[in-house]
Chain A
């Protein structure tokens, strides 16, 4: 998705573009790069898959072959590679395995975030750990992803951890999953091996209802079919239907993933300058305006806000109209997710943090829920049990909750649900019914990834012990 018209702000950089273009010759290169960077859109990608399937090596390879590794980082990694493995090839996983313990053990423990830009797109890459013990870190990395790359070791095929991570990706509402069949060099690029994994991953994805999947054979170690094609065999020819991994990441269409239908605006903060207000330049607001100023600040979670629209404030159900949408840069004609804005209502109604503005036609009773059913990823050593008391943080609300029932638990091997387990252990996933002290303005997670998500907090330790996706 390239943005054809960078709009009014393009003026800010036109000097750079202009001078560079006039200069001609080699001098234009950096500036041309800078301007394409400016128009890039953002894709959040997370890796997944079992231990040692090559996730970190792949991220390192993507950065290295797209020339995004700067000289001093490379020197550092080269030196560390020699120390660990002796002279020879550079261990590209060391580019992301940034903790001492990770380098010592040769595994990833926590998510690493790396950034790179090619062509029209910028990427935030979250390299997650494959080890079961660190599943919560994988969930952290994948929770914000638009696309997950699930690595599969060609020699082992689809194993339990592949299923678990694919399942977690689908639970997290990731609509785009790319299976990278890695270490193809170790199976001599055997087409049968690839096809078998392709069939199995496609079957699992269909079972899980993942809408957009691709299966791509690679060798992260040798750099085949990652950024450069290298020598792929005849069964994976150099044509549009057989992209490299990066080629695919650059073109995958994600623009339809946002919910522009259901207006959801959770209020985060009430801006009430009152006395001692800080309109330092004294240009925009008169003292009188500042005195009466009452704006509701937040990040749009779904739908589109427009001045004049009638809204309901939930859970109270009070109605008003949007008077205007403000930002530091002026008023806006509309706002959509994920914009952070300040909303003013026409009437002086009672609105505070935790309230949610929704459309006038919405069924308030159905939206405000005191009981929810959700898929929960449990992240604590102490198991989740029926009757347990926890805190739920959902949008900008934190409320007390009680676990009514653990309805089922997922068997990660068969992807089937076992009914009525006695609880959820560390890293288990299951469906849970929760009762809430304060009603939440909640949607099914698959309809809105913001108003459908919550975290569970242990009141005793203050730890985050689970993540939930509302059904």
Chain B
């Protein structure tokens, strides 16, 4: 991994003083779209905190979970968050993101639990899906087991996640509160009705729930919110020079976990990431956007979905996401 910052000034804005809440003037005039979505998400978080015993917030250092953290601040400050942060670390993450993850948790003064996929593998609970000799292999499947183990170990009954319905068409079907059986499985044909903003968080024995407060946000909403709130992001979200290889139409960062194969040439390109996930399956996009405003402009004009452009795991089959969720995936 050899990221060199692109020429020029800082790639992300410094945290700024709080900004006024209303994009549209007096409250009686109605809320802007973003503020309506924000208010809905805060409501969801407070309901879950009030009705469930032991929630956790899945924090990966990615943009969606960074937004979740800000929403948690909006929901609970000046109190502490009524839940710890939890990251399932495949061991193949970007250094910049891990650094950011730890720093952000410390700045917030909140507890961060890191569950390592490596530990699950070392304990012999799953076989390592990643094999340096097999291009395209990853620990994507194994992280589900690590998540389920962490849920059990800490007794979590609810996990907040930053998934959005616009990401993928199986996700478009999922409730804000998504109930999972003992094995973490989602049963899409038998979801609990979810009327108005009345969430029924009562669990059956062995069940737990994934909660998606930003279900109704689009990728562009997330970026615009980050811009309005001046949220800091890991530097890889902005254009930087990086050594990459082209594989199956995607650009992958060269790293200790992903080495060029026969016939692949390493190129140094100006790229940024649309999502941050596991280094072995997350693609970069070519870009020169070094400011939030430039990124927002590019996202508004893009013709490819976030997952389609950057996630190898969703390209496997027509129902890849649905199948993974049935097995306990986020």
Contacts and interface: CB of A to CB of B under 8 A. Distances in A.
A185 B142 CA distance: 51
A109 B172 contact: no
Interface in A253-288: 255, 258, 260, 268-269, 271-273, 276-280, 284-285
Interface stretch (A9-17, A152-160, A195-203, A213-221): A9-17
A95 B198 CA distance: 28
A140 B302 CA distance: 32
Nearest to A293: B78
Interface string A446-471: 00011001110100011110010000
Contact of B193 (A258, A338, A464): A464
Contacts of B166: 114-115
Nearest to A109: B189
Given A6-B24, A34-B297, A96 B195 contact: no
Contacts of A97: 169
| Chain B: number of interface residues, binned into ranges | 35 or more
Contacts of A144: 196-197
A110 B309 contact: no
A160 to B, nearest CB: 22
Contacts of A461: 204
Contacts of A99: 170, 173, 188-189, 319, 322
B49 A269 contact: yes
B23 interface: yes
Interface string B119-163: 000000000000000000000000000000000000000000000
A9 B293 contact: no
Contacts of B21: 327, 329-330, 332
Nearest to B302: A70
Contacts of A393: 198, 200
B30 interface: yes
Most-contacted residue by chain B among A3, A139, A449 (CB, 10 A): A3
B301 A462 contact: no
A137 B193 contact: yes
Contacts of A137: 191, 193
Contact of A9 (B23, B172, B197): B23
Interface string B309-321: 1000000001100
Given A9-B228, A110-B189, A260-B28, A96 B172 contact: yes
Contacts of A100: 318-319, 322
B230 A12 contact: yes
A39 B34 CA distance: 9
Contacts of B189: 99, 101, 109-110
Contacts of B197: 144, 299, 450
A98 B322 contact: yes
Given A3-B32, A72-B305, A113-B165, A455 B74 contact: no
A340 B41 CA distance: 9
Interface stretch (A25-33, A308-316, A343-351, A432-440): A25-33
Given A12-B227, A98-B172, A122-B33, A334 B26 contact: yes
Contacts of A20: 297
Interface stretch (B93-101, B213-221, B232-240, B272-280): B213-221
A114 B202 CA distance: 28
Contacts of B188: 99, 101, 109-110
B240 to A, nearest CB: 20
Interface in B182-223: 188-189, 191-198, 200, 202-204, 215-216, 218, 220
29 contacts: A6-B24, A6-B32, A7-B20, A7-B23, A8-B19, A13-B227, A31-B300, A41-B33, A70-B305, A73-B305, A96-B169, A112-B173, A137-B191, A140-B194, A269-B46, A271-B76, A271-B77, A278-B78, A278-B79, A278-B81, A285-B78, A328-B18, A328-B77, A329-B19, A330-B21, A332-B21, A332-B27, A394-B198, A457-B200
